[in-house]
Amino acid sequence: MRTAIPKSALVLALLAAAALPAFAAGAEDDYKAAYAAAEAANKEAAKLRNQWTTTASTLAAAKKAAEAGEFDKATASAKEAEALAKASIFQATSEKTRWRDMEIR
Amino acid sequence: MASTIRVRATSSGETTEVQALIQHPMDSGFVKDSKGEIIPPHFIQQLTFEHDGKNVFTADWGGGVSKDPYVKFTFKGGKKGDELKISWVDNKGATDTATAKIQ
Amino acid sequence: MTDVGFSATRRLILQGAGAVALIGLGNLPFPALAAANDKYPDEAFKAKSEADAIKALYGKSPEPSDKVKMDAPEIAENGAVVPISVTTTLADVTSIAFLVSENPVALVASYKIPAGTLPNVANRIKMAKTSNVIVVVEAGGKLYSANKEVKVTVGGCGG
Amino acid sequence: MRLRSAIYLASAAAAFAALSLAGALPSGAADKVDPVADAKAFKKFFTDKFPKVKLEDFVNGPYSMNEDLYRQWQEKEQFPPYEFSLEMGKEMFSKPFKNGKTYADCFPNGGIGIRQNYPIFDDKEGKVITLELALNRCREANGEQPYSYVKDEMAALTAYMAFTSRGKPMDIKIPDDPRALAAYENGKEYFYTRRGQLNFSCATCHVQSPGERIRAEILAPALGIVNAMPIYRSEWSGMGTTSRRFVTCNSQIRGVPLSPQDDEYRNVEYYLSYVSNGLPISGPGARP
């Protein structure tokens, strides 16, 4: 039994979540840039038919923090969302060929 | 509208086995909806079965009975073609009644 | 709700419970049934613990009996729908009650068994979490019980 | 900077996860689409894995894998929870539309006993048509509003149609048409592709782990899983169609679900139904 799956999924999730902000300057502009980047990445994931629910919820958290004027927090969330979206893109791209390894034949 | 009551009553000659399924949400009053608000209690409190003018079974229910509740019991007597009368009343005062023929 | 409202409701329902349902007088807390049938054990269905519920229902406590046979799953497939049934060889059974000790309200169902109806009942109940299920059988004026733990991994009470 | 390396790490983790999975399974390029060989291998995989389960019993999902569950199911089936939906479907099916026509006018054999043929491949459109899609198209063609694809009326209608096909072997045809083969292959790809933050494919649960518990639930085998649709799930406290199952599976692994009846969902249903050919229709079903 390949029980490695949930574990590796967890690793992936943790690593993605670890993409926390290094230098949140606190400016609204930083947030806007980070949010736009995250949104763009998530759009690309949508094209690949592989968005993650966590990307959407992290984006929502970023927006909420920004509305409350907490731009450090908002930027951090936006960057996390971007990392999540990029991980989903990577997943979709690599699975283009890898899915066959799972196939029953 | 279709009845909320489904009954299967089968006579073996000596006894009659009765199974009933009622369409009802049976909200206990302890569950929250997707918005986090409590769904108010809404459940059947009493379900009665009469055969030949006589009560053969009464169920007193709380909110802990499953949605679309089910119950099965057996009584002595009852023959094919006899009628069974089933009624329920819930905590909001709603009721329904149906009759079923014993098979 | 005021007393006036309460008795007005009572009258309405006594005149025709069906009509009340149709015009959707709904949302009355508990009095409706008390009016339609005063034998509904309201207090017992408000008790939190099984001991209080049994006391409210019967005014005494049961003793365990191997003549009460409960059929319940080891692990419920889903706490929302747990099939439980009971049969007994005891004579003169007048009622059978099902309780779940860990539910917010312990008493789930109480069945009146008139003479001529066999003392076996099957039903489907909700369980919030892993808990003891207790069946109480009233026979010849005495109370007997059976107990079984049913594991619940998906709770049937939301959340 | 940190962000970049985090993504790289995340990517590496995903790659590692994929590789560690790949290791145990034979890999190789499949150039030719061969549904007949696929279906044979699919059945063999499950019958080898569960030698005690009869082929036709796989349609009973988790109940075929666990005795305690089987007993609870038998008890439920005495008066199954889908009964109301089934009756509603029967009534709806025979009730004419405003223009006087009925669902029967849209289907071969008046819609009775034909569920085992769906999804079909429509060679005019070049696409897979599921039963749910065909039902809504029938409504629209007769001037009625379409229903939600996931529950309520749609589940009731499909419950009734499945009921009239109970016991009939699933009989999905893949015509000799490159578009049909492409749809089939796309469905297969969807089935085996890992997605969502949890990095699960449909196969992770329903091929590798059926019979095991994930949290509380016993996973159903993919073989015959569509034969039981639609289902009453205690978890949903109600009925759901095949689309509903796909949507909820996707959300559970933290993937954003597609819209019901998007091409991928239609194709994956086509694939899953085809590889379950020969197994009886058992729907409507009841599931935990």
Report the residue of D1, D2, D3, D19 to disrupt the A interface, i.e. the one with the largest count of A CBs within 10 Å. D3
| Domain identity same for D125 and D247 | no
Give the model's pLDDT for residue D276. 97
Residue D136: inside a domain, yes or no?
A: yes
Looking at the structure of chain C, the number of domains it has is: 2
Same domain, D155 and D98: yes
| Residue C155 touches partner D, C-beta closer than 8 Å | no
Assigned domain for D22 exists: no
pLDDT at position B70, please? 95
- Give the mean pLDDT of D31-58: 92
Kindly state whether residue D65 falls inside one of the protein's structural domains: yes
* Any domain includes C122: yes
Query: Of the candidates D116, D140, D163, which is a domain's last residue?
Result: D163
Q: What is the pLDDT of residues A4-42, one digit of tens each?
A: 444 455 444 444 444 444 444 557 889 999 999 999 999
Distance (Å) from the C-alpha of residue D153 to the closest C-alpha of chain A?
28
CB C87 within 8 A of CB C120: yes
Chain length of chain C: 159
pLDDT at C93: 96
Residues D188 and D261 in one domain: yes
Query: Both C31 and C66 in a single domain?
Result: no
| B to C CB pairs, distance under 8 Å | 150
Nearest-CB residue to D18 (from A16, A94, A103): A94
CATH code, domain carrying B59? 2.60.40.10
CA distances in angstroms from A8 to D11, D126, D256, listed in the order given: 12, 39, 20
Q: Which of B4-8, D23-27, D32-36, D274-278 has the lowest mean pLDDT?
A: D23-27
Q: Which domain holds residue A95?
A: 4-102
B70-76 and C120-125: which strand pairing?
A: antiparallel
Q: Does residue A88 contact residue D7 with C-beta atoms inside 8 Å?
A: no
Residues D211 and D74 both lie in one domain: yes
Amino acid at B77: G
Q: What confidence category does residue C5 fall into, taking pLDDT thresholds of 50, 70 and 90?
A: very low
3-state secondary structure at position D287? strand
Mean pLDDT, chain D, integer:
88
Q: What is the rounded average pLDDT of the residues D117-146? A: 97
Strand-pairing partners, residue C131, are C150
Say what the pLDDT of residue D79 is: 87
Whether the per-residue pLDDT at D11 is higher than 50: the answer is: no
Q: Does the complex come out with an ipTM higher than 0.85?
A: no
Rg (C-alpha) for chain C, rounded Å, is: 18
Condensed to tens digits (0 to 9), the pLDDT of residues D151-174 reads 999 999 999 999 999 999 999 999
Match 């939906």 to its residue by tokens.
D85
CA–CA distance, C6 with B61 (Å, rounded to integer): 22
* Per-residue confidence (pLDDT) for residue C142, from 0 to 100: 95
Element (H, E) at D79: none
A19 contact residues in D (CB cutoff 8 A): 2-3, 6-7, 10
CB contact at 8 A, A17 and A80: yes
d(CA B18, CA B99): 12
Cβ-defined contact of B72 to D78 (cutoff 8 Å): yes
Instruction: Provide the CATH number for the domain around residue C80.
Output: 2.60.40.2470
Same domain, D91 and D74: no
**Touch criterion met for A and C (3+ Cβ pairs within 8 Å):** no
Residues of chain D above pLDDT 70, percent: 89
Domain span holding position D116: 83-163
Q: What percentage of chain B has pLDDT greater than the value 90?
A: 84
Q: How many CB atoms lie within 10 A of CB C8?
A: 11
pLDDT at D5: 39
- pLDDT tens across D64-114, in order? 888 888 888 888 888 898 999 999 999 999 999 999 999 999 999 999 999
pLDDT of residue D165: 97
Give yes or no: residues C65 and C11 share one domain: no
C117 domain residue, yes or no: yes
b/e map of C9-22 (b: 16 or more CB within 10 Å)?
Answer: bbebbeeebeebbe
- Residue D18 belongs to some domain of the structure: no
D92 and D75 in a single domain? The answer is no
How far is A6 from D256, CA to CA, in rounded Å?
19
Q: Identify the three-state secondary structure at position B57.
A: strand
| Position C50 pLDDT exceeds 80 | yes
Question: CB C27 to CB B75 under 8 A?
Answer: no
Which of the two residues, C33 and A78, has the higher pLDDT score?
A78
pLDDT at C18: 31
**Domain boundary residue, one of D117, D133, D163:** D163
Residue D152 lies in a domain: yes
- DSSP assignment, residue D105? G
- Count: domains in chain D: 2
pLDDT confidence of D121, banded at 50, 70, 90? very high
Residue D208 maps to which CATH number? 1.10.760.10
Please tell me which residue in D106, D138, D205, D249 is annotated as part of the active site: D249
Tokens, residue D9: 């790490």
Residue D31: the pLDDT is 60
| D202 catalytic residue (yes or no) | no
The pLDDT tens digits for B26-47 are 999 988 887 889 999 999 999 9
Binned at pLDDT 50, 70 and 90, residue D215 comes out as: low
Q: How many domains does chain B have?
A: 1
How far apart CA A88 and CA C152 sit, in angstroms, is 35
pLDDT at C36 over 50: no
Beta bridge partners of D213: D218
Asked whether the beta carbons of residue C117 and residue B70 sit closer than 8 angstroms, the reply is no
Residue C16: give the domain boundaries: 3-36
Pick from C56-60, D23-27, D92-96, D170-174: least confident: D23-27
SS (H, E, C) D182-227: HHHHHHHHHHHCCECCCCECHHHHHCCCCCCEECCEECCCCCCCHH
Whether residue C21 lies inside any domain: the answer is: yes
pLDDT beyond 60 at D122: yes
Strand B70-76, strand B54-61: pairing:
unpaired
Tell whether the torsion through CA atoms of C84, C85, C88 and C94 is positive or negative.
positive
Q: Do D216 and C74 touch (CB under 8 A)?
A: no
The answer to whether the beta carbons of residues A53 and D197 sit under 8 Å apart is yes
The CA distances from residue C100 to B22, C39, C49, C110, in Å, are: 22, 22, 9, 12
Residue C120 belongs to some domain of the structure = yes
The SS3 of residue D175 is coil
One domain, residues C63 and C104: yes
Clarify whether residues C8 and C56 are in a common domain: no
Whether D14 sits inside 8 A of A49 (CB atoms) is no
Q: β-pairing, D127-129 with D120-122?
A: antiparallel
pLDDT score at B35: 84
Please give the single-letter amino acid code of residue B76.
Answer: K
Residue B47 and residue C65: Cα distance in Å, rounded?
28
Q: β-pairing, C142-152 with C131-139? A: antiparallel
pLDDT at C153 (0 to 100): 78
D237 Cα to chain B: minimum distance (Å)? 7
* Residue C29 and residue C54 share a domain: no
Is the residue at C41 inside a domain? no
Q: Which of residues 4-33 of C touch D (CB under 8 A)?
A: none
Mean pLDDT of chain A: 82
D191 shares a domain with D145? no
In terms of pLDDT, which residue wins out, A27 or A68?
A68
Residue D252 CA to its chain's centroid (Å): 16
Contact call for D68 and C74, based on CB within 8 A? yes
pLDDT beyond 90 at D212: no
Q: Is residue C92 assigned to a domain?
A: yes
Residue C148 has pLDDT above 90, yes or no: yes
**For residues D53 and D246, what is the distance between their CA atoms, to the nearest angstrom?**
25
For B77, the domain range is 5-101
